[in-house]
Every structure is written in C-alpha cells, then in structure tokens.
C-alpha cells in the first residue's frame, strides 16, 4: 500500500501531466479546425509525404555523461519522517534510531561565539534565501498538529560500509530516516533504515549510516581549494523527489558567506549556477574529474525554486567535519580563546587605533583562556605564532582549527605599543557555554538547586512503577540546559540517574547532597539507566566539571 505522501505526490504529478495533456489537445484541436472552412472539413491528400525514419548515429558521450554514470550509483535519496508529538513525545531520534527526547545541542542558542556585532540569524534572512532542499511539501508540515511530516533530500556514500554525507537540515528533528540507493526498486516502500552518526550545526553537515552486507559504491572527495571561478561543475540529487537528476553549470564565486555574524563564520560556500532545487540538499557538486568539491546546501530564490544562485559547502571543510563526526566523540571540536569582537570595523577605527590588519578585542570572556593569559578589551591581535592576521574570519578559522589544550603565541598592540601573550586554547563549546550559563547559574544558586546550578539539569524522583521496572530508585531528568555540563556529557531528558560518583541518588535529598559538594575541576561520573530499555543495564557517563 502506498503511503499518504506517495499518493499525494503521485496526485500532484498526475495533475500536472493531465494539464499538459489538456493543453496539447487544445492546440491540436485548434490546428485541425484551421483546416476547415465555415465548419466544413477539407480532405487533403498526403500520398506524396515521405515517412520519417530514425537515424542510427552515435553521439560520443561528453564528460557530464561519464561523470553521471560513474558517480550516480553513489548518490542516494533520503526521506525522513517526523512523528506527531503525541507519538514521539517532545523528542526525536537518538544516534541509535530510537525515538527519545533530545535536548538542544550546543549552538542551538543565538550566542555570539568569537565574533560579535551585527548578526543575522536564520530567521532574519531575506525570504528569498532558503536552505530548504530537504523541505517538506506545503501540506505535509505535520509534527505539531498530529500529522506525520515527511521531507526529502539527497546524500552520497563515502565509505563502502554505508557511511553517507548529507546536510544536517535534511535529518533535523526526524524520528525516522530512510535511504534509497539508485539500484533499489522503485516500489520499495520507504528505503533502508539509516542511523545518525553525528552532525555539526555550524556547517550544516551530518553523517548517517545504513547497514549493508556488500560493499557499496562510493564517491571521491576532491580539493575545493584548487577549484576556480568559471570551472564546469555537475550536480546530482533528487529535486522534487525526482531521483538521480543531473544538472550542470559553472562555479560562479568562492568563499561566499550568506549569513552574517557568528551563525555564518564557519560557512564559506562555493556559489554555482548549476540548477539545484528542493530535494537537492545534501547532494554532491562535482568537478570534471568526477570528484565531489561541495555539498549542495542553500539557494537564493524569490520564487521558492531555482533562480541561478546555489551554494555548496566546500569539500575541504566537509572532510574535516566528517573525520570529527566519525571519531569516538561524534562531534566537531573547535578551539577558542574566549574573546568577542565586531567584524567589518570602519576605516576610521583602524586609523585612530593605528592598525591596518588585525582584530580589535571588544570583550573578554570571564575566566576564559584570553583572560587567563592577560588579554584586555582594546587589545589589537595582529599575529598568531608570527603569522599576520588579516581579519576576524582569519582569526576565527586559525584558532578554531587548533585543538583544545594546545598553546599559541599572540602578537598584540596595546595602547600603541607591541606586546605578546601565550594563550592555551579552550574548547569553543565549553568556553561560551560557561559564559552563557553564568547568570543562570547565579540565579539557580540563589534558588538553592545544585542540579540546575552546577550540572544544568532539572530532576525529580522516579515513580514507584519506574523504580520497580529498573529495580533501583533514582532521579529522572526532566530537562537539560543547552550548553551545560550535563548537555556536553550527552545526558538526555527521560534518563534516570542512579548514582553520582558512586554515591546513591535515590531521592532529592541524596541527589542535592552529592551534587552540592561538586566544584569546578572535579571528575563527575553518572550511572544512568533508560526506563524504556531497562534490560540494557547501567550506562556510565562522565567528564570533568
């Protein structure tokens, strides 16, 4: 039986084709009537007409044909389902495919991270700029209204074991993710079940995986740095659910930023005029060697469809993010020194403060790496390890690429005099989570709730029924504050904390007593159980506070 989504899609396509057929009939009818005079048909002999024949000539395949045949088998169609909230709760899929509550990830909030000033969030973008290639059909926006929401997108296989790269927004909020290969039968219901390996909101990239008993075809990742404006490119994807669609164009521009401020500081796109539309999201942009040099991500449109401007995340960025997402942590770790600055300062500021290139520090994160190293607001960062810094993007990219715990030497101008400082790189998520949570923690401390203040969670005692199911008492997590210590450790609403640092937390008094003694720098280990899967036993999760 076809799904509701398939029936609606078929009905739409049928409506289009019926309309075209009707128009064609009208045209033919009009042409026939033209032969009549005053309503009387005129008989015309066609005995002298020569029948047409198909010429058997061979057109040599061009590079686009070769690339489509070579790469096509590794390009997949991705469809997702978001269940009604009364079915899925307020949750979505875990990394193992189960429907369960998921807290906000670091970066959900509109925090300014390393870059401050004029910011445009996704909601502030012009209507014509859409990152919607995995977008839902207009009448399939379920999820909140009791309807199942379905969306479509694309992806490509990079590992024969079934690892696939796509866009984060294609699988965002999805409870179920399915993948269809080019060799899968069309009548296959939904496709192969996929599981999320990891995602990175900052670059809108995600890695998913399907199980396979045989090696799958893969693509090659090319060097996006060597791609040039004017180079031919080819895009493959599933626009409007039409799988394996191939379009071609050129690279129109490079290093294009479409979101200002912190939201766009890790997004420097390849711009192309290759036709890409809703459903192309996550598909590959290929050079003439058949190598992926970008992941199609966004378009500029006033109509909701293709208008000549598409944007793809460069492959060099994709490779770095992918390698982090398949690591044991399944997350992208970026360095930070905990400063804020305003990009695009006027020339007057540069002249008054006496610098041409560099970054003027506006604010220092309290307790962050920069403050510990002695940096001050008003300092001008001019070099990193002896290399001149051009601007804020240059500074952010350089520091973000460093691993937390490593050290850098900053060249500074302070009150017109040169100086320097050695700074130990921090984890970007933690540095700015600490900044965003300082006031919240202070408020919570005044309320006397150590769980909220120190861990970022709200808990309550489990019900007797849950305790019986688990054969243990504990505190069930009701909410997790984005960017908090608990969030960074992967704690999720619905899980039950049985012990903290081997100390029982069977009731609120025990929990508050154990957590209340924790201080910055302490190792914290949670013993967690999942009431939905009590047979899985205890999971040990920990980190340093």
| Residue 296 CB neighbours (<10 A) | 29
CA dist., res. 120 & res. 118, Å (int): 7
CA–CA–CA angle 115, 116, 122 (5° rounding): 90
Question: Which helix H or strand E contains 388, and what residues bound it?
Answer: strand 387-388
Give the number of residues written for the chain. Answer: 545
| Residue 53 CB neighbours (<10 A) | 6
Question: Which of 112, 204, 324, 429 is labelled catalytic?
Answer: 204
> What is residue 308's three-state secondary structure?
coil
Question: Which helix H or strand E contains 284, and what residues bound it?
Answer: strand 284-286
Catalytic: 172?
no
CA dist., res. 100 & res. 532, Å (int): 9
Catalytic: 281?
yes
CA–CA–CA angle 273, 275, 277 (5° rounding): 125
Question: Which CA distances in Å does 13 have to 3, 135, 470, 521?
Answer: 15, 18, 52, 61
CA dist., res. 17 & res. 337, Å (int): 59
Closest C-alpha among 86, 84, 91, 85 to residue 494: 91
Q: What is the DSSP letter of 454?
A: I
CA dist., res. 318 & res. 291, Å (int): 13
CA dist., res. 430 & res. 485, Å (int): 8
CA dist., res. 255 & res. 394, Å (int): 12
Helix residue ranges, H only, 55-138: 63-71, 85-88
CA dist., res. 93 & res. 100, Å (int): 6
Catalytic: 420?
no
Closest C-alpha among 324, 332, 297 to residue 105: 332
Question: Which of 202, 224, 252, 281 is labelled catalytic?
Answer: 281
Cβ–Cβ < 8 Å for 202, 268: no
CA dist., res. 69 & res. 76, Å (int): 14
Which residues is 292 bridged to in the sheet? Answer: 221, 286
Question: Which of 169, 238, 427, 449 is labelled catalytic?
Answer: 169
Which are the catalytic amino acids?
169, 204, 281
């Amino acid at each position: 039986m076809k799904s509701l989504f398939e029936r609606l899609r078929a009905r739409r396509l049928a409506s289009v084709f019926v309309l075209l057929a009707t128009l064609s009939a009208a045209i033919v009818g009009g042409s026939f009537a033209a032969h009549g005079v005053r309503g009387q048909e005129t008989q015309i002999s066609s005995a002298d007409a020569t029948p047409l024949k198909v010429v058997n000539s061979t057109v040599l395949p061009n590079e686009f044909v070769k690339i489509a045949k070579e790469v096509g088998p590794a390009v997949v169609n991705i469809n997702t389902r978001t269940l009604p909230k009364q079915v899925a709760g307020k949750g979505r899929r875990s990394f193992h495919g189960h429907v369960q509550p998921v807290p906000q990830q670091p970066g959900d909030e509109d925090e300014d991270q390393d870059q401050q000033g004029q910011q445009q969030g996704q909601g502030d973008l012009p209507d014509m700029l859409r990152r919607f290639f995995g977008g839902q059909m207009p009448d399939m926006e379920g999820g909140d209204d009791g309807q199942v929401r379905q969306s479509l997108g694309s992806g490509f296989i990079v590992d024969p074991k079934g690892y696939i790269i796509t866009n984060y927004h294609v699988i965002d909020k999805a409870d179920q993710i399915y993948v269809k290969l080019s060799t899968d039968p069309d009548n296959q219901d939904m496709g192969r079940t996929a599981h999320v390996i990891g995602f990175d909101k900052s670059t809108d990239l995600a890695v998913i995986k399907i199980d396979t008993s045989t090696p799958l075809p893969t693509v090659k990742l090319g060097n996006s740095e060597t791609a040039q404006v004017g180079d031919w490119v080819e895009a493959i994807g599933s626009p409007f659910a039409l799988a394996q669609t191939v379009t071609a164009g050129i690279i129109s521009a490079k290093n294009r930023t479409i979101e200002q401020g912190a939201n766009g500081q890790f997004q420097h796109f390849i711009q192309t005029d290759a036709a890409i539309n809703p459903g192309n999201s996550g598909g590959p942009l290929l050079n003439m060697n058949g190598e992926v040099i970008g992941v199609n991500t966004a378009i500029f449109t006033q109509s909701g469809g293709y208008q000549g401007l598409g944007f793809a995340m460069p492959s060099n960025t994709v490779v770095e993010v992918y390698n982090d997402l398949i690591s044991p942590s399944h997350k992208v770790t970026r360095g930070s020194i905990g400063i804020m600055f305003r990009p695009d300062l006027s020339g007057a500021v540069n002249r008054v403060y006496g610098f041409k290139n560099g970054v003027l520090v506006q604010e220092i994160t309290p307790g962050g790496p920069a403050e510990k190293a002695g940096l001050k607001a008003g300092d001008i960062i001019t070099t990193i390890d002896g290399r001149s810094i051009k601007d804020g993007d240059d500074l952010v990219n350089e520091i973000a690429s460093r691993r937390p715990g490593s050290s850098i030497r900053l060249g500074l101008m302070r009150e017109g005099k040169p100086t320097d400082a050695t700074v130990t790189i921090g984890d970007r998520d933690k540095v700015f989570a600490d900044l965003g949570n300082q006031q919240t923690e202070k408020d919570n401390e005044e309320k006397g709730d150590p769980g909220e203040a120190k861990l970022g969670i709200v808990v309550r005692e489990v019900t007797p029924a849950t305790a019986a199911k688990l054969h243990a008492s504990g505190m069930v997590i009701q909410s997790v504050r984005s960017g908090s210590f608990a969030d960074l450790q992967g704690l999720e609403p619905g899980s039950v904390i049985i012990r903290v640092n081997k100390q029982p937390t069977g009731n609120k008094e025990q929990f508050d007593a154990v957590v209340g003694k924790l201080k910055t720098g302490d190792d914290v280990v949670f013993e967690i159980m999942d009431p939905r899967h009590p047979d899985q036993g205890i999971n040990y999760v920990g980190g340093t506070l």
